[in-house]
Amino acid sequence: SLRPDEFWAVEDVSFELRRGQCLGLIGKNGAGKTTILKMLTGLIKPDHGSISLKGRIGGLIARGAGFNPLLTGHENIFINGSILGFSQKEIREKYDSIVEFAEIGDFVHAPVQSYSSGMSVRLGFAIAVKLIKPVILRLDEILAVGDMGFTIKCLNAVRELAQNSAVIFVSHNMQFISSFCTDVMVLQNGRIQTLTSDIATGINAYMKCFASETKISGTGEVVIENIYLQSANKIKNNESVLEISQGSKATLQFELAFKTSEFIQHSIYIQIDDQTTTPIISYPQTSIRPTVITSSRLTYKVPLGIIDLNAGYYTFSLNIISENDRRSLCLTQGVAPFKILGKLSWGKVVRILDEMPMVIQNNTQGH
């Protein structure tokens, strides 16, 4: 039994992964993802159950894991290779390709402790994919510190390895997960919440782990009230989260209550944010006009048109700006949450075709 303040970091987790599969291991911080990778590596022994691995295992579960910071990158390459069972000849044959992939140039002869976090990750990843070429590859959020060019290179390398390897990929970037993972496991408090080969279902389960928070700032001279989203294609309205099908038309309705004695000329800026509060779509202020006007209150009904968004969870941000001195009268974020239901695809915005594209076949017989 557990003692006070103890908990199971991983409990009753069971799965199987084969060559050609890439498992996206996702969940909130502290859900147990890294603990599972450490158990697969042998750094932690499970209290119950067993782990069966067939084939060489490699990868990165921490930035610069296994490097001696006092030694140079060159020395660490040979030490890591020797520990992994490679001969000096085998390491020399792969040395140039490792340095080239890592893109650290002459810094390979500098102590690793002088490297940036990105340089350490690049060298560690290069060793993993160029020297080890593991049958089982584990990656724990290592792409978060790389620049865009190196991230693309890593993703291409993972795709190539995944053809003949079993890959376990931990990331909080859902575009990476949807890009090349074949399966998704969502962990919550050390237990499996969802295990599926339907990537959209897995990502939606991950999004449900995060509660929507409303943030309000500005001078407070205006208050935004009674805001909600309407759509004729509404599937259901569950716990104040509107669920609509992909490609639906929608309308946003809200009221502005003025807390000052006189009316303030203002502009309204509306945008749709994703789960990470990153702006996805902005609507021009010129198209926003009140439909009902009283002495201290305005009612707005804004047609948003077709919501061409990828499947996922979204919220609105509204900013009321004074036209006189451009101060923010009220900025409200994380309101009117809604979920787009549909097939998950690459990218944030998905253009829905009105008609199916025409397919032209041109059969030419050669003589």
Label each residue of 65-81 as H, E or C.
CCCCCCCEHHHHHHHHH
Whether residue 324 contacts residue 286, with contact meaning beta carbons closer than 8 Å, is answered with no
- Token pair 């490609």 is at which residue? 247
Burial of 105 (0-12, 13-18, 19+ CB in 10 A): exposed
Alpha-carbon distances, residue 360 vs 355, 357, 363 (angstroms): 15, 10, 10
The answer to whether the CB of 169 falls within 8 A of the CB of 184 is: no
* pLDDT score of 238: 47
Give average pLDDT by consecutive 10-residue segment, the chain, 367 residues.
85 91 90 88 86 77 69 92 86 92 90 86 82 77 66 79 84 79 92 90 80 82 89 62 85 88 84 84 70 72 86 88 89 89 70 54 51
What pLDDT is attached to residue 318? 92
Average pLDDT, the chain: 81
> Could you report the per-residue pLDDT of 149-199, keeping only the tens digit for each?
777 787 788 778 778 888 888 888 777 788 778 999 999 999 999 999 988
Beta pairing partners, 301: 253
pLDDT at 206: 85
Long-range contacts of 75-80 (CB under 8 A, 24+ apart): 76/112, 76/123, 77/108, 77/123, 77/127, 77/131, 80/127, 80/131
Query: For residue 246, how many other CB atoms are within 10 A of its CB?
Result: 19
| Distance in angstroms (rounded) separating the CA atoms of residues 78 and 194 | 41
Starting at the edge strand found earlier in the chain, the sheet holding 183-188 runs: 57-60, 136-140, 166-170, 22-27, 183-188, 191-196
- Which pLDDT value is given to residue 15? 93
Amino acid identity at 337: P
Question: What pLDDT does residue 331 have?
Answer: 92
* Residues in contact with 243: Cβ distance below 8 Å, sequence separation at least 6, in sequence order: 234, 235, 236, 237, 338, 339, 341
Query: What is the maximum alpha-carbon separation in the chain?
Result: 87
Pull the structure tokens for residue 110. 């500098």
